[in-house]
Amino acid sequence: MENKVESLKKVNLGGIKQSILVRGKEKDLPILLFLHGGPGTAQIGFMPKYQDLLEEEFLVVNWDQRGSGLSYVEGVPEETMNINQFVEDALELIEYLKETCHKEKIYLMGHSWGSMLGMLLIHKYPHLFYGYIGVGQVTNMLKGEEYLYDYLYTKAKESKQENILEDLQAIGRPPYKNPFTSIPISRKWVNHFRGITWELDLNQVISEGMESSPYYQKEDINKWVKGSGFSVEHMLEEMFDVDLEKDIQQVKVPIHFFLGRHDYTTPSEIARAYLDQVSAPEKGIVWFEDSAHMPMIEEAKKFQEKVIETFLKKKTSQL
SS3 assignment for 131-173: EEEEECCCCEHHHHHHHHHHHHHHHHHHCCCHHHHHHHHHHCC
Instruction: Write the pLDDT tens digit of every residue in 169-205.
Output: 999 999 999 999 999 999 999 999 999 999 999 999 9
CA distance linking residue 10 with residue 169, whole number of Å = 46
Q: Is the pLDDT of residue 104 over 90?
A: yes
Beta bridge partners of 293: none
Separation of alpha carbons 107 and 291, rounded Å = 23
Residue 246, pLDDT > 80, answer: yes
- Beta-strand relationship, 255-260 and 5-13: unpaired
Tens digits of residue pLDDT in 113-141: 999 999 999 999 999 999 999 999 999 99
What does 2-43 look like in DSSP terms, one character per residue?
TT-EEEEEEEEETTEEEEEEEEESSTTSPEEEEE--TTT---
User: Across-strand partners of 7?
Assistant: 22
Q: Which of 111, 263, 268, 291 is catalytic?
A: 263
- The alpha-carbon radius of gyration of the chain (Å, integer) is 19
Per-residue confidence band for 316, with pLDDT thresholds at 50, 70 and 90: low
**Each residue of 29-45: pLDDT tens digit?**
999 999 999 999 999 99
Q: Catalytic site residue 52?
A: no
pLDDT at 318 over 60: no
DSSP-derived secondary structure for 33-100: EEE--TTT---TTTSGGG-TTHHHHSEEEEEE-TTSGGG--TT--GGG-SHHHHHHHHHHHHHHHHHH
115 is catalytic: no
Q: Look up 293 and say whether it is catalytic.
A: yes
Given a cut of 90, whether residue 9 has pLDDT beyond it is yes
CB contact at 8 A, 316 and 66: no
Q: Which of 112, 115, 186, 268 is catalytic?
A: 112
So what's the pLDDT on residue 317?
Answer: 54
Q: Which of 36, 111, 256, 293 is catalytic?
A: 293
Rounded distance, CA 299 to CA 128, Å? 29
Cα dihedral 287, 54, 67, 235, rounded to 10, equals: -20
Q: Closest Cα partner for 47 from 141, 135, 140?
A: 135
Q: How confident is the model at residue 278 (pLDDT cuts 50, 70, 90)?
A: very high
pTM: 0.96
- Cβ atoms of residues 165 and 142 within 8 Å: no
Helix axes 202-212, 218-239, angle to 10 degrees: 140
Amino acid code (one letter) for 71: S
